[in-house]
Structure 1
Amino acid sequence: MLNYIPSWIISMVLIILISVLFYQIYFRIINAYSDDKNRITIVDKFGSILPYGLPLLEGLQNFGQQILPDYPFSLMSLYKKTLMPFVIFYVTHPALAFIIFFVLYYLFVRAKSPMPNRPFIRFNVLQSILLFLINSLLGATFRALPIEFRVSIYGLMLCNTLFWFVLSTIIYSIVKSIQGKYAKIPVISQAVRIQIDSQ
């Protein structure tokens, strides 16, 4: 019976079930801290780290696959053991990114969100969505360049620069989330603040 169900439907159902489970757990824990919404809890820190997986996978798909084989073998073997299975799953299920994008937007970003208002998580989710959109745009622009340029030394330099930009902004944001502080990425964080303040 499962052989006849498309894999994207199974993926979507799994994401919805995981989202509902996460929502129930999150809602119960946050209700315990509802007296002070500006207090940053362990749940807020952990919940603000997870959305950065989306722009990370997008950046690895767009730039990492092209340049990581040229890096030292130890780095490539570490990548193969840790992130590569997730990237392969992400690449083989292209609808997954947009489903996660809309689930995050619906649960955390909308003005009438069903989730409790937690400014720290909202900031990080919105920032991760913005980083995802920037990664998608940079990746589409890079793929639109002529193949002769992309495989040349200049194309590889550009790909390397974009890859390290993406990776460094995500790592910086994750570290700040673990510390319980707001990341300050020029332009991106300011745009997130403007969006949050306007709602």
Structure 2
Amino acid sequence: MFTSLPTLVIAIAITVFMGCISIAVYQIYLFTAESYITKVPNQNITIIDRCGSILPYWLPLLEGLQNFGQQILPDYPFSLMNLYKKTLMPLVIFYVTHPALAFMTFFILYYLFVRAKSPIPDRPFIRFNVLQSILLFLINSLLGATFRALPIEFRMSLYGLMLCNTLFWFVLSTIIYSVVRSIQGKYAKIPVISQAVRIQIDNQQ
């Protein structure tokens, strides 16, 4: 069901405003808080490390598009929807029609990169990003299940649309940020999430 244009404009405007507030709070957080990511001196982060760190983020991205993108993207401008149909939509459809694929990928990533006795040589940068992508996937799954459990009247209302937009852009922004940091060869610093990843890695050492 398509939302009327005025309602959509209001929802997007409020979502953008909330996003700006969130960015401002995040910048204040970065400015005032000490860095909680342990820096590894003289660590060689190769091109393979950077490319390998990007790939796992497809899992939370597809999960987020399945949970939130499919509901709100049809109401976005046609050019954006057309771009989505030509690029990510076939992958999302394949992801939705093969639900076991997500769990298989999850356990494979965990077995190969996260376990303390991993069969793959230890690459701290890849391991950090794989674990972070898994955590983002679990968070997206939990948020998606919670959102779907809400009454359909609320989900189709203005407030439901605002909530869905906010969750969608949270998913998208955290993944884009993590991918950009991986390309730069730097560790992402997502509040709480990256800290939890670092604590998990430190506990396994």
- Indicate the TM-score class for this superposition, using the shorter chain for normalisation: 0.7 to 0.9
Distance 1:80 1:40 in 2: 35
Given residue 133 of structure 1, which amino acid in structure 2 is its aligned partner?
L
The answer to whether residue 103 in structure 2 is matched with residue 98 in structure 1 is yes
For 1:89-127, what per-residue CA distance to the aligned partner results, in whole angstroms no more than 9, with x for missing partners? 000000000000000000000000001100000000000
Identity across matched positions, percent:
88
Deviation at 1:37, TM superposition (A): 9.4
| Correspondence for 1:28 | none
For 1:60-87, what per-residue CA distance to the aligned partner results, in whole angstroms no more than 9, with x for missing partners? 0000000000100110011001100000
Distance 2:43 2:98 in 1: 37
Given residue 132 of structure 2, which amino acid in structure 1 is its aligned partner?
Q
| Correspondence for 1:163 | 168
- TM-score between both structures, scaled by the size of structure 1: 0.81
Distance 1:55 1:79 in 2: 17
The answer to whether residue 200 in structure 2 is matched with residue 189 in structure 1 is no
The answer to whether residue 117 in structure 2 is matched with residue 112 in structure 1 is yes
Given residue 113 of structure 1, which amino acid in structure 2 is its aligned partner?
S
Helix, strand or coil at the partner of 1:189: helix
Structure 1 unaligned runs (5+)? 1-35
Say how many residue pairs are matched. 164
Aligned 8 A contact 1:37 1:119 in 2: no
Helix, strand or coil at the partner of 1:173: helix
Give runs of aligned pairs for residues 4-43 of structure 1, distance below 5 A.
38-43=43-48
| Correspondence for 1:138 | 143
More relative contact order, 1 or 2 (CA 8 Å, 6+ apart): 2
Aligned 8 A contact 1:62 1:139 in 2: yes
- Of 28, 37, 61, which aligns to 2:66? 61
- Of 43, 47, 56, which aligns to 1:51? 56
| Correspondence for 1:153 | 158
Distance 1:37 1:125 in 2: 21
Distance 1:174 1:184 in 2: 12
Helix, strand or coil at the partner of 1:56: helix
Deviation at 1:128, TM superposition (A): 0.1
Given residue 149 of structure 2, which amino acid in structure 1 is its aligned partner?
A
> 4+ runs of 1 displaced by more than 3 Å?
none
Structure 2 unaligned runs (5+)? 1-40
- TM-score between both structures, scaled by the size of structure 2: 0.79
Aligned 8 A contact 1:56 1:167 in 2: yes
The answer to whether residue 83 in structure 2 is matched with residue 78 in structure 1 is yes
Distance 2:101 2:43 in 1: 32
- What RMSD, in angstroms, separates the aligned Cα atoms of the two structures? 1.2
